[in-house]
Chain A
Amino acid sequence: MSAATVEAINNIIDNNHDPDYLLQHLIEIQHHFHYIPEIAIGALAQTTGFSETHIQSVVAFYSFLSLEYQGDYRILFSDNFTDRIDHNQQLKTLLEDKVKDASVYIGMTSCTGLCDQGPGLLVNGLAINDLDDQRVEEIAALILNKEPVSNWPVHLFAIRDNIQRSDIQLQQESSGGEGLAKALSLGPDQTLSVVDASGLRGRGGAGFKTATKWSFCKQHQSDQHFVVCNADEGEPGTFKDRILLNTYAEEVIEGMTICASVIGASKGLIYLRGEYRYLLEALQGTMQKLRSENKLGNNILGQNGFDFDVEIHLGAGAYICGEESSLIESLEGKRGIPRIRPPFPVQQGYKNKPTVVNNVETFWSVAHILRQGADWFNQAGTEASPGTRLLSISGDCERPGIYEYPFGMTLTEILKDCGGAGAQAIQMAGAAGTTVLAKDFARQLSFEDLATGGSFMVIGSQRDLMDLLDNFATFFRHESCGFCTPCRVGTLLIEEIIQRFNHKQGSEVDLEQLQRIAQIMQETSFCGLGSTAPTAFIDALNQSPELFTERMGHDIDNPVFDLEQATRDYKRITQ
């Protein structure tokens, strides 16, 4: 090991021996070396007090971390269904052919949040959009020339906000901190009343009432409270937080600061998904600007004793960390395994202190609600779902992008706007969400009918829904955290069954098992990942049984026996 390696590792650890920063250190080491050298594990074991085995087990949990040197370039193609219909697999093969002998690792990763401008990829952690043959060839040339990624042309990384429809919130001029000033003049109780009166419900998907969450947290006596912004936008097909963090970060942080003023927090954390690392520098710049304007820091806006600042933690490729208790574990530098509830995060969250975890969009809306008033917000939407929300629309439509809609819009109206006429289905709320077939397009966007965390994927009539299921099955097998039996084993078994049908080798037994596995996952899983993972498969089975019945390999009267297949496992274990 060279002295330079040791120095680089020491610079990253930077005398910060707090075990909570283990994951953050690992991410920076990975970013620097494109893998985690053994010597870094040793150094971290010394500074954090963890065993090397523990540190390795953390590395093994996160997809973006690697213990082996895999090349100077680590390229991960996004593998959402929308990437697949835009031929990500062929583009990956093209790149592999072009750079055969170069020092490069090429793999797949879960949705990187560029579905409106996909296919996307990550190169050494940075996002590239709009892939086509030409751009892949350009990337191949850069790799063959051994150009460091920092020298790659900026047009490869030019990711657009792509806002297609604005409503009351996106139409606002920059808040300039007016919402925060209002909250400070009202005081915590009145501010909470405004949020309560607005009827705002959490935008992550579950739709818990924001004011209720805040008031639970506030009621909990503690020497410290925390505000956490969940920017781990991992649900396939969701990319609205990407634009909020890119262009409206001031309002997002303003919303966090307003929350801090209500619950009495002095520290906030943004958990930014690793795929959005490219936003990090600008976000830090925004925070610096807010500090200089006294909207973060001590005695904020002249309010004596109101101190609050925000820190950004990165994720490293783990969908489960969007679940709030896993997110907190990850913030504490551990494997992202969900916690037993109760206690809930509002009682014992980050560092076991009362913590509010809200979605990026929720905080953004809070800033506008304080500035404009509760009535301004809840004049839009429906009674049970007040206000507007952002949709990330992708898939088979002419105008994919960000759409702000009041709740209550029908899917037909939304499809008309985005040019998705003729779609056979909408996948609402991502892989964990609901498949809505064309006959039900009169249903509406709302918590009382079709809720979504922002994902809205249009499935055109030319698509085979089995391909969608195949994509989701692989996604969940890869993203299950592995803690509880039904999710760890169920996702594995479901993928096997779906692949059998995809290869026209399904059977009645598979169908019966799929239903049994789905039910047990829905009813006994430890967290929401496991309980929602089977939804798409069961929706398909209930709504389009022919997807399965037409792919039976054999029936009772005509059994098919494939010797190769039947002895596959035997051969594997006796090799």
Chain B
Amino acid sequence: MPTFTLDQQTIEYNPGDTIMEAASRAGIYIPHLCYHPEFTPHGSCRVCVVSVNGRYVSSCTTPASENLDVTNISEAVQQHRKQLLEMLFVEGNHVCPACEKSGACTLQSVAEFCGMLSPTFSFQYPNRPVDASHPDYMLDYNRCINCELCVRASRDVDGKSIFGLSGRGHEAHLVVNSEDGLLGSSNFDKNDRAASICPVGVILPKHQGFNKPIGKRLFDETPINEQMVEPQR
């Protein structure tokens, strides 16, 4: 099997693998948000950047090849991830102590892993109303990071294409494909794949609140970098 090097370790890969796929198979965690093994790579969050022969590339979109020298965990790479995470935190309205997803939030957990404890860039405080129109689920757009996992899940698994991205630049935002743009008017169902894919706290079940005590939440006992199977959210 062909191999490349990642943090001085020899990693085997199958032709066609990305760096992320090969590393995951070898049990190595590369922080990521928009990547998910069930879906085609996206490459938008950039949090999975690694340094390859001195250049930064996203590991979820870069094909593995012989003789790559990949750095995943180093001060410089983690610094880059911290900046990107800061950007995501200031772009939306992320109030972790009050958020139901706290403790089970991939964004929060990845930030902790990368050492991003508090953003330094200026907060944007966007105005993003919450959609509570659906009987079983609510959408809190304040926490959206434009990863499009729900877009892909709804389109590729559920065959419903309920979610999409509209607008451009900093105005790019998640939209619901229904007549009035509300989730309640769509055919979204609580058993959809899209209902359990959100890595942050946008797509949340109703009729329950903080049902897992601190200490028992998804990432409380096992940090994200040790959960080798993609966390069930």
Contacts and interface: CB of A to CB of B under 8 A. Distances in A.
Given A57-B175, A340-B43, A481 B61 contact: no
Contacts of A485: 44-47, 84, 87-88, 145
B45 to A, nearest CB: 6
Given A60-B167, A491-B170, A526 B44 contact: yes
Interface in A253-298: none
Contacts, number: 128
B127 interface: yes
B44 A573 contact: no
Contacts of A489: 87-88, 90-91, 121, 170
A60 B168 contact: yes
B169 A482 contact: yes
A339 to B, nearest CB: 9
A489 B124 CA distance: 10
A491 B169 contact: yes
Contacts of A496: 122
Contacts of A520: 80, 83-84, 87
A462 interface: no
Contacts of A569: 123, 125
A163 interface: no
Interface string A45-68: 000000111101100111100000
B49 A524 contact: yes
Nearest to B167: A60
A377 to B, nearest CB: 33
Interface string A366-402: 0000000000000000000000000000000000000
A524 B41 contact: no
Category for how many chain B residues contact A: 35 or more
Contacts of B166: 53, 56-57, 60-61
Contact of B146 (A53, A60, A488): A488
B84 A61 contact: no
Contacts of A25: none
B170 A482 contact: yes
A483 interface: yes
A84 to B, nearest CB: 21
Interface string B49-67: 1000001101001010000
Interface in B159-190: 161, 164-172, 175-179, 181
Interface in B82-106: 83-84, 87-88, 90-91
Contacts of B14: none
B120 interface: yes
A41 to B, nearest CB: 11
- Highest count of chain A CB atoms <10 Å: which of B41, B83, B168: B168
A486 B46 contact: yes
Interface in A452-499: 477-486, 488-493, 496
B46 A524 contact: yes
Contacts of B83: 486, 516-517, 519-520
A481 B170 CA distance: 8
Given A340-B43, A485-B47, 17 more contacts: A51-B164, A56-B166, A60-B166, A485-B44, A485-B145, A486-B84, A492-B170, A493-B121, A493-B122, A513-B121, A516-B83, A520-B83, A523-B49, A524-B80, A524-B84, A526-B58, A569-B123
7 contacts: A60-B168, A482-B169, A489-B87, A489-B88, A492-B169, A513-B121, A573-B127
Listed from nearest, the 4 A-B pairs whose CB atoms lie closest are A482-B172, A57-B166, A489-B87, A53-B177
